[in-house]
């Protein structure tokens, strides 16, 4: 449970450094390859990676399998869309409204869903997400099922988001911030308490920990981070739709976490890269791409039970221990 020191002789930090460096160079490669689409494609990957990282705090470190996490992605997107419809283009207000809406909804729903566990927790989170989805469909003044087309992206005083490269690096910077804050959180006293709750909540209660407070806190934090990802997604597509909160999106986020490696900091990023790039490649090969994608996911889960990065991390940790002997 407790982290081991990571040496620079270990392959783990170098894999992370290389991965993040390659992501930082995507716009440079897209420029020289004359393929601006790569910037948009990888911006989408970074945004979903942010949302998956927040979900990993629930699934991987607290044992809370939320099947309605896309609710907060939709809230963030609608915060941008609705304010833009009324002529409010200030990006700071967009982000502030997204975080505030997510915090309020996560707190209110968390008081209900966190008193349950197992299948009941999964189904209730799904129910709340579907409620928001159908609320979005019913908002005829804001496009209903057709969604909202943004006239322009959010306006920040020092950032020109009309540039896809600027938006990309904003997404990249926020991803780095989320990764760092996730690392600090899970290795802090609060994070070890969450792991204790995941391992044996009854024992944590017997020791005097008010577990509901800890679960509610991480539930709200995860919702707020995902809402920021939703605001970025609305700016990327310049569009807001109830589809952002659909249960299928929640399912994709769970797949990203599992595919990359639950309970690892970098795993959700690896999962988002693997899933979305695989989707893109298979869709270019066949129109029936979902069938082979499902088979590949099943194969990865069976052969690498800890996920892609999770299995690599387990191998690297075992190798480090053998080296120390």
Residue 308: inside a domain: no
Number of Cβ within a 10 Å radius of residue 138: 12
Which pLDDT score is estimated for 4?
A: 44
46 within a domain of the structure (yes/no):
yes
Give the range of the structural domain holding residue 216, as residue numbers without chain letter: 11-247
Share of the chain above pLDDT 70, in %: 96
Q: Per the structure, how many domains does the chain have?
A: 1
Q: Across residues 70-83, what is the average pLDDT? A: 95
Instruction: Check whether 9 has a pLDDT greater than 70.
Output: no
With respect to residue 5, please indicate whether it lies within any of the assigned structural domains: no
Q: What is the mean pLDDT of residues 51-71?
A: 95
pTM above 0.75, yes or no: yes
Domain-located, residue 165:
yes
Whole-angstrom Cα distance, residue 194 to residue 215?
A: 7
Residue 184 near residue 120, CB atoms below 8 Å: no
If you write DSSP's letter for every residue of 246-311 in order, what string do you get? SHHHHHHHHHHHHHH-TT-SSHHHHHHHHHHHHHHHHHHH-TTTHHHHHHHHHHHHHH-TT-HHHH
Q: CB 270: neighbour CB atoms within 10 A?
A: 24
Average pLDDT of span 61-69: 93
Confidence of residue 312 (pLDDT cuts 50, 70, 90): confident
What is the three-class DSSP state of 59? helix
Residue 152 lies in a domain: yes
Residue 196 lies in a domain: yes
- Please determine, for residue 10, whether its predicted confidence score (pLDDT) is greater than 80: no
Over the stretch 88-109, which tens digit does the pLDDT of each residue have? 999 999 999 999 999 999 999 9
> Domain for residue 97, yes or no?
yes
């Amino acid at each position: 449970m407790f982290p081991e020191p990571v040496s620079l002789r270990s392959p783990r930090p170098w894999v992370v450094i290389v991965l993040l460096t390659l992501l930082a160079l995507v716009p440079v490669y897209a420029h020289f390859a004359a393929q601006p689409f790569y910037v948009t494609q990888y911006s989408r990957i970074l945004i979903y990676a942010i949302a998956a990282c927040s979900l990993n705090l629930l699934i991987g470190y607290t044992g809370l399998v939320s099947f309605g996490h896309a609710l907060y992605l939709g809230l963030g997107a609608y915060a941008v869309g609705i304010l833009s419809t009324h002529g409010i283009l200030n990006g700071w207000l967009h982000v502030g409204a997204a975080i505030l809406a997510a915090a309020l909804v996560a707190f209110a729903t968390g008081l209900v869903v966190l008193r349950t566990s197992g299948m009941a927790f999964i189904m209730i989170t799904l129910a709340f997400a579907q409620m928001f989805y159908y609320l979005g469909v019913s908002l005829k003044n804001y496009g209903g099922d057709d969604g909202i087309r943004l006239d322009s992206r959010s306006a920040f005083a020092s950032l020109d988001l009309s540039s896809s490269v600027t938006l990309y690096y904003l997404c990249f910077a926020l991803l780095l911030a989320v990764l760092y804050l996730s690392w600090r959180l899970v290795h802090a006293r609060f994070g070890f308490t969450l792991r204790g709750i995941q391992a044996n909540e009854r024992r944590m209660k017997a020791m005097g920990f008010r577990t509901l407070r800890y679960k509610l806190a991480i539930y709200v934090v995860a919702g707020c981070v995902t809402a920021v990802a939703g605001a970025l997604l609305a700016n990327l597509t310049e569009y807001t739709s109830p589809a952002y909160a659909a249960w299928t999106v929640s399912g994709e986020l769970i797949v990203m976490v599992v595919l990359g490696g639950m309970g690892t900091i970098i795993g959700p990023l690896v999962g988002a890269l693997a899933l979305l790039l695989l989707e893109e490649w298979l869709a270019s090969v066949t129109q029936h791409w979902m069938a082979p994608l499902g088979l590949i996911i099943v194969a990865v889960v069976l052969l690498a039970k800890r996920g892609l990065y999770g299995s690599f991390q387990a191998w690297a940790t075992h190798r480090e221990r053998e080296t120390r002997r």
